[in-house]
Structure 1
Amino acid sequence: MDSITDKAEQLRHKISQAEKELQDLRMQLEELESTTRNLNTNQQLGSTSESAHPTDTIPEWKWPLSEEEYSRYGRQLILPTVGINGQLHLKSAAVLIVGAGGLGCPAAAYLAGAGVGTLGVVDGDTVEVSNLHRQIAHSTQRVGMMKVDSLIEYCRGLNPVVSYVAHREHLTPQNSEAIVSEYDLVLDCTDHPTSRYLISDICVLLRKPLVSASALRTDGQLIVLNSPPTAQGSTEGGPCYRCIFPKPPPAESVVSCGEGGILGPVVGVMGVLQALEAIKLIVTGVGKDSNSTPKDPIAPSLLLFSATSTTPFRSIRMRSRRPNCFACSTGSTLTLKELRAGSLDYVQFCGVAKPVDVLKPEERVSAKEYNDILTKQPDKDHLLLDVREKEHFEIASIPGAINVPFSTIQTRSKTSTDDDSLASEYIPKSLSAHAPIYVICRVGNDSQLVTKRLKEIGLDANGERFVGDIEGGMLAWKRHVDQTMPFT
């Protein structure tokens, strides 16, 4: 069975690679055909005009935008807040989107539709099926394709006039200067603190305004940073990300979309708002052809969005630059040289160095080993604690498992000093004193922490009772035991 599963995985991988190569070839063919069509059209126009009117010439176009651009952008050109000058600012601006996911897709689409001159996209990931409910620029047909290429293909379908630049890699301290320096404005559409601090730092050093947003579950937040983008130490500049959040959140409190979930329209709202803020900045002066910044910059504020609240939007006014900010203050030691050298370890700073690894091999069992217990020793007295959150547990679980969410255990551990009381909440009274306890989570991280905690409060009876976790969690169970089980 394992060999069949492995062979199927290999075939799926080969199919994905073949589809990506085919898509790349299609894009190259499309570009060549487009170039050929343009050349043929020009040749036909030239031959027609020469034969029909040998002495006539095509009237010189005297307007700042092309005829197609007037048609394409007409509905926003007539807005007093945009007008012809605003559209020219958009056309001359280069915008970088870091992250081609739930935020980046709607942000890129509306910026492309608005007619920015150059749109760059940075991302090193590929499209997965689980992305599609919220990352609306991707499609089922492009699963396995680089997200950058998928998003650019979508945007090119909306507006082929825009120049698109693909950066098929993640932003790092080493490549950030070379990439960001080519743009006038940056949108942070990532989903992790390490990326947010790096993007903010490079924007401070290169004096680029930054539009940052985030979304989780049914909530989102948005803030415009480093605007106006003055030099380090200037009191006139807007705050950076470190001014607002000088310390990263505790590593254990950082919840990903995979763990906490996300409602598609919520992240869509935040991405659209990012595009809106970017357009507002550009039409008021940010761009290659403008050396000025707005005369009266708007005071920085943090916009909070809650899809379940009766008042979904709230705005909190923020302070200007912190006088002791690590990145943008007078005493800052942050430099491009330091960044390039890798002196700043953003992973270590945010406390996310590596996956959890706190148990010894003998304290862990594989998914197959636990399945053998269920199938070969069905009457064996034991306990399986599933520490995923209730919503995950309700989707699918192993028969006989008891759900005790990790968040509940964390809260109980912090507030309780009575270990006997703590144990009584986890262990049924009917369980015998030496019956083994197994712990399972989503991918094998939380289960290790819970196992360690259960041992600390003495549930292993000084080594007489086995207390351990199932290595790899429910993901391993799906891969090696029950391929039909849903995994989210």
Structure 2
Amino acid sequence: MDSVTNKAEQLREKIAQTEKELQNLRRQLNELESPIQNLDVDQGHSSTSTTKQPGEASSPKWKWPLREEEYSRYGRQLILPTVGIKGQLRLKSTAVLIVGAGGLGCPAAAYLAGAGVGTLGVVDGDIVETSNLHRQIAHSTSRVGMMKVDSLVEYCQGLNPNVTYVPHREHLTPQNAEGIVSKYDLVLDCTDHPTSRYLISDICVLLQKPLVSASALRTDGQLIVLNNPAAAQGAANGGPCYRCVFPKPPPADSVVSCGEGGVLGPVVGVMGVLQALEAIKLIAGGIGKAAGSDPKEPVAPSLLLFSATSTTPFRSLRMRSRRPNCFACSAGSTLTLKELGSGSLDYVQFCGVTTPVNVLKPEERISATEYKDILAGKSHKGLLFDVREKEHFDIASIPGAVNVPFSILQRHGRPTVGYLTPEHLSDTIPAEAPIYVVCRVGNDSQIVTRRLKEMGLDGNGERDIRDIKGGMLAWKHEVDRTLPFT
């Protein structure tokens, strides 16, 4: 069985390597063909023209601004009054940067590539995982393990080889942000964390780049066009930045990732498509404006909210202009490219994101293996609280566990629901019977364990209350490898 597994792994590696080589060859071919095609157009000839043969009629000069193939490819949007030939030429001359090649970045990149932007850059340092595929539709099962930027570029090249694609195989950081973002005209924030959003907004303010930002979680999403028009710090006519709308980050313990809270694939897709739409509107000009209005006049800023479960899924909230005391874009701002590049701005600290929770002493915790032995004991009379959300608990749980979601404990301020009332505990299990707490990866369980002790449920040390280190992830690795982990 091991030999079969090893051989399968070797085949996967060979496939991945071959795909990378194929992608490299396609890129080289595209680089070779582009100058030839551009030269033909610049000289007034069709890219398909050939040397005149004796007796052959002269080929007519190509006098149109787009290549013949482009008129066919973009014909359906060229005939729109809000796009037209001028809008298409603006698209072709624009460089767009997508930060994040995930659920938002995939549809956004696909529609921008299809629309014919001149250059499309993608920034991401992650690889494709199986858990991405239900929502990150540009990736595929065959490309699991490949860099996301390479997978997305390969997908978009198949859609439109006329676009110049630039992969940035790294995460955006304060140190590399200027070097990357400065090469583009417009930025799309397709990331999923506050630290990234503040960084992207700050560099766009400093480099005066319009920014289209979106987010999605569970069945909800939001979209906002920032720094439009892009103006210098302190300019009254500049559009608001991310810090104008959210001057303070959300509490660190309220930030929920897709891994914890889940997300419905089409919700992310809707928001990514809307990002592409807003980007095309900004580039082509005139789309979404009232008849007779100045095409250069920006649309009033607004925050678009989307709820897949609402009877009215879209709501738009009017926003104010720049905040006069904004840290990033106000006249009094001290934010500079030098300060940003130096790394003196700690976005992780600003957003309150810290290292994994570590509030319990080693003796207040047990390993998954140790709890397995306790569970197997004949004299076991303890109680196990699983503080994951009900949806996680319903997928898989440890035998005998009782589900008390952490969100309910946060909402009530103290554990006073279900089995966590002192009165119920005394009626359910003996006073000396231990209590164990488990969560997804061992963070929330520590907080709950500490709260239970603060409530006095340990009976001044008579009752043992401990959490399982590493949570359900550790249980999967140490005890039951068949356990579905999400």
The TM-score, its normalising length taken from structure 1, stands at: 0.90
- Work out the CA distance in 2 between the residues paired with 1:72 and 1:197: 37
- Offset at 1:423? 3.1
Matched with 2:464 is 466
Q: Which one is further off, 463-472 or 146-155? A: 463-472
* CA distance in 2: counterparts of 1:473 and 1:482, whole angstroms: 13
How much has 1:451 moved relative to structure 2?
0.9
Which residue number in structure 1 is paired with residue 435 of structure 2? 437
CA distance in 1, matches of 2:47, 2:316: 58
Task: Name the CA shift for 1:294/1:121 in 2 (closer, same or farther; >3 Å).
Answer: same
What amino acid maps onto 2:394 in structure 1? E
Alignment correspondent of 1:307 = 308
* Cα distance change on mapping 1:33 and 1:107 into 2, 3 Å: closer
Q: CA deviation at 1:409?
A: 1.1
Aligned residue in 2 for 1:406: 406
Q: Which amino acid counterpart does residue 386 of structure 1 have in structure 2? A: D
Identity %: 71
Measure the CA separation in 1 of the matches of 2:142 and 2:338: 43
Shift of residue 378 of structure 1? 3.9
Structure 1 residue 71: deviation in Å?
0.6
Q: Contact 1:249–1:350 at 8 Å: present in 2 too?
A: yes
Q: Structure 2 vs 1, CA of residues 100 and 459 (structure 1 numbering), >3 Å: closer, same or farther?
A: same
1:438-479 C-alpha deviation (Å, 9 max, x unpaired): 111111111111111111111222223221111111111111
Secondary structure in 1 aligned to 2:224?
Answer: strand
Aligned residues: 473
Consecutive unaligned residues in structure 1, runs of 5 or more:
287-292
Q: Counterparts of 2:92 and 2:178 in 1: how far apart (Å)?
A: 23
Instruction: Give the match for residue 174 of structure 1.
Output: 175
Q: Is the 8 A contact 1:364 1:470 kept in 2?
A: yes
- Give the Å deviation of 1:67: 0.6
Give the Å deviation of 1:89.
Answer: 0.1
CA contact 1:187–1:274 (8 Å) conserved in 2: yes
Q: Rate the CA distance shift 1:54–1:364 in 2: closer, same or farther, 3 A.
A: farther
Task: State the Cα deviation string for residues 61-84 of structure 1 (Å, max 9, x = none).
Answer: 211000111110000000000000
Deviation per CA, 1:367-399, whole angstroms, max 9, x where unpaired?
111111223x04411111100000110111111
Deviation at residue 357 of structure 1 after TM alignment? 1.3
Contact 1:404 1:426 (C-alpha < 8 Å) held by counterparts: no
Q: CA deviation at 1:425?
A: 7.8
User: Is residue 412–residue 422 contact of structure 1 (8 Å, CA) maintained in 2?
Assistant: no
C-alpha change, 1:128 and 1:312, in structure 2 (3 Å) is same
Q: Deviations over 1:212-250 (max 9, x none)?
A: 001111111000000000100011000000000000000
Q: How far did residue 294 of structure 1 move?
A: 4.8
**CA offset at residue 285 of structure 1?**
8.6
Question: What letter corresponds to residue 237 of structure 1 in structure 2?
Answer: G
Residue type of the alignment partner of 1:468: R
1:316 maps onto 2:314 in alignment: no
Q: Distance in 2 between matches of 1:335 and 1:382?
A: 58
Q: What corresponds to 1:290 in structure 2?
A: none
Q: So what's the TM-score if we normalise by structure 2?
A: 0.91
* CA shift for structure 1 position 426: 7.4
Distance in 1 of aligned mates of 2:155 and 2:25 = 16
* Alpha-carbon separation, structure 1, partners of 2:356 and 2:310: 35
For 2:359 and 2:6, locate their aligned partners in 1 and report how far apart those are by CA, in whole Å: 32
- SS of alignment partner, residue 357 of structure 1: coil
**How far apart, CA to CA, are the structure 2 residues paired with 1:281 and 1:52?**
47
Indicate the residue corresponding to 1:260 in structure 2. Answer: 261
C-alpha RMSD of the superposition = 3.0
1:420 and 1:120 mapped to 2: Cα distance? 52
The CA deviation at 1:407 is 0.6
1:31-430 matches, cutoff 5 A: 31=27, 52-53=53-54, 58-284=59-285, 294-375=295-376, 377-413=377-413, 423-424=421-422, 427=425, 429-430=427-428
Pick from 20, 24, 27 the counterpart of residue 20 of structure 2. 24
**Contact 2:82/2:286, CA 8 A, preserved across alignment:** no
Secondary structure (helix, strand or coil) at the match of 2:324 reads coil
- Name stretches of at least 5 consecutive residues in structure 2 with no aligned partner: 40-45, 288-293
